[in-house]
Structure 1
Amino acid sequence: MSTSPRRRSGAQFVYEELLDRIQDMRLEPGRRLNEAELANELGVSRTPLREALRLLLAEDLLDQLPTGGMVVRRLSTRDAAELYAVRARLEGLVASAAAERAVPADVNRLIALLQRNEALAGLAEGAMESGHAIHVEIERIADHAWASRVLAQIEGQLARYRRFSNASPDRRETALAEHRGIVESIAAGDAAGAGSRAEQHVLAAREATVAQLEVSLGPAPGAGSSLPT
């Protein structure tokens, strides 16, 4: 039997529920949050709701208004560019470590995930989820605690931008080829190749994301034609 929201009324439940809604943009960027409305909808008191909102504010997923209210942080091309630049370095480090650690069973799991990614490459949501699963598995194989910790810290922000990185069919096919190259390098134990391919893959995703955001939001003030690495 499922547990109702009212029975799961801790701050952690509220935090996880609001995080999910922010990441999949049911709570859209720029939306002002109404505490009374949210508390009623989630079946909780104001106390756990405010604790959850403080956590989300600390993670920069919400912005505080001068009047004291909170809004969902807006998307920006600058945030996207900076987040992906950090992620690129970390993913390169993680892929390199995975190539050094992977055993045949790990490689088999990666191949299975790659095949799923290939099967879903025609669907934006499916490609996003299956591609992300490859990165999660590589991170597991790498077992690099500090890199994983920093990746986890920026994941809340990245989740909102990831859907923009594979919006076009061409980018999804290219990303699939990039995933294939990373997996091949890991399978061959090529740490340098895996790291380089993973970093370039994320930088390519950054270019695609920023291009899509510029269509949706307009270019950032003072933005140039290229992105720093």
Structure 2
Amino acid sequence: MPPVTLTPRALYEQVAEQLRQRIFQRELEPGSWIDELKIAEEFGISRTPLREAIKVLAAEGLVTMKVRRGAYVTEMSDKDLRDVYHLLALLEGDAAAVVAQTANPAQLQELQQLHHELTSAIQDRERFFEINERFHLRVLELSDNRWRSQLVADLRKVMKLNRHNSLLKQGRIEDSLAEHQAIMAALLAGDATAAAQAVQAHFAQGLEAAV
């Protein structure tokens, strides 16, 4: 494997991002041990920035640190997944309710454009997943609560540890698109209650497909 090129950002942050992507791409599987010596040698760094990077990932929930056993990629039980989806449904439902009440026409148009892009990506799972996440994160940004956004960002990282992406289930993309249509309709109508309920229903269906 060729040496990893690191840009001039804080070294431990660069290493954390490299490891984070390896976890998301299943190059480091849930439950697998993080070999500090091997990774430090591969990156051409000392173990100090690597250990700082591992602490960052542990704070995000992506890595579990065990006394005298080192660090492992976190494994998600069904209960873990249900707990994460429950919190995401509450937090993102609340954000949608805020946006339904406060978004201006330009912001609603932006969300509608993302929804149109989502519709056009129904045959491309990877693109659908990417636009889906952009839509959710944009709703969070528009709700303008940085604490909620940070919580959701961390929970979404942990959600990616699930081995079975809910969008891989047969028919799930079509169902997800219909759920997004309900969310978009509630936002356009300025109906905060309907927006929150639509988001919560969306996560409930996503959980059912993921477990």
Check whether TM > 0.5. yes
Give 4+ residue runs of structure 1 displaced > 4 Å after superposition.
6-9
How far does residue 15 in structure 1 lie from its aligned partner after superposition?
A: 1.2
How far does residue 209 in structure 1 lie from its aligned partner after superposition?
A: 0.7
The structure-2 alpha-carbon separation of the partners of 1:35 and 1:129, relative to structure 1 and needing over 3 Å to count, comes to same
The structure-2 alpha-carbon separation of the partners of 1:99 and 1:162, relative to structure 1 and needing over 3 Å to count, comes to farther
Aligned to 1:180: 181
Q: Is the 8 A contact 2:58 2:64 kept in 1?
A: yes
Q: Is the 8 A contact 1:6 1:44 kept in 2?
A: no
User: What SS is found at the alignment partner of 2:30?
Assistant: coil
Q: Is the 8 A contact 1:24 1:160 kept in 2?
A: no
What stretches of structure 2 of length at least 5 have no aligned partner? Answer: none
How far does residue 166 in structure 1 lie from its aligned partner after superposition?
A: 0.8
Q: Is the 8 A contact 1:9 1:48 kept in 2?
A: no
User: What SS is found at the alignment partner of 2:162?
Assistant: helix
The structure-2 alpha-carbon separation of the partners of 1:60 and 1:40, relative to structure 1 and needing over 3 Å to count, comes to same
Q: Is 2:49 the partner of 1:48? A: yes
The structure-2 alpha-carbon separation of the partners of 1:161 and 1:127, relative to structure 1 and needing over 3 Å to count, comes to farther
C-alpha distance in 1 between matches for 2:153 and 2:10 = 25
Aligned to 1:109: 110
Percent identity at matched positions? 32
Q: Is 2:202 the partner of 1:201? A: yes
Aligned to 1:226: none
How far does residue 131 in structure 1 lie from its aligned partner after superposition?
A: 0.9
How far does residue 198 in structure 1 lie from its aligned partner after superposition?
A: 0.7
Deviates more, 1:196-205 or 1:59-68: 59-68
Deviates more, 1:43-52 or 1:158-167: 158-167
Q: Is the 8 A contact 1:89 1:199 kept in 2?
A: yes
Amino acid at match of 1:69: G
Q: How many residues align?
A: 208
How far does residue 177 in structure 1 lie from its aligned partner after superposition?
A: 0.8
Deviations 1:16-66, CA, capped at 9 Å, x for gaps: 211122123221111111111111222221110011112222333222345
The structure-2 alpha-carbon separation of the partners of 1:10 and 1:166, relative to structure 1 and needing over 3 Å to count, comes to same
Q: Is the 8 A contact 2:62 2:161 kept in 1?
A: no
User: What SS is found at the alignment partner of 1:71?
Assistant: strand
Deviates more, 1:81-90 or 1:7-16: 7-16
The structure-2 alpha-carbon separation of the partners of 1:79 and 1:205, relative to structure 1 and needing over 3 Å to count, comes to same
C-alpha distance in 1 between matches for 2:47 and 2:127 = 36
Q: Is 2:131 the partner of 1:130? A: yes
C-alpha distance in 2 between matches for 1:108 and 1:97 = 16
Deviates more, 1:58-67 or 1:30-39: 58-67
Q: Is 2:151 the partner of 1:146? A: no
C-alpha distance in 1 between matches for 2:140 and 2:7 = 35
RMSD (Å), alpha carbons: 2.0
Aligned to 2:157: 156
Amino acid at match of 1:201: H
How far does residue 183 in structure 1 lie from its aligned partner after superposition?
A: 1.0
C-alpha distance in 1 between matches for 2:8 and 2:186 = 48
What stretches of structure 1 of length at least 5 have no aligned partner? Answer: 211-229
Q: Is the 8 A contact 2:74 2:161 kept in 1?
A: no
The structure-2 alpha-carbon separation of the partners of 1:200 and 1:141, relative to structure 1 and needing over 3 Å to count, comes to same
Q: Is 2:6 the partner of 1:5? A: yes
Q: TM-score with structure 1 length normalisation?
A: 0.83
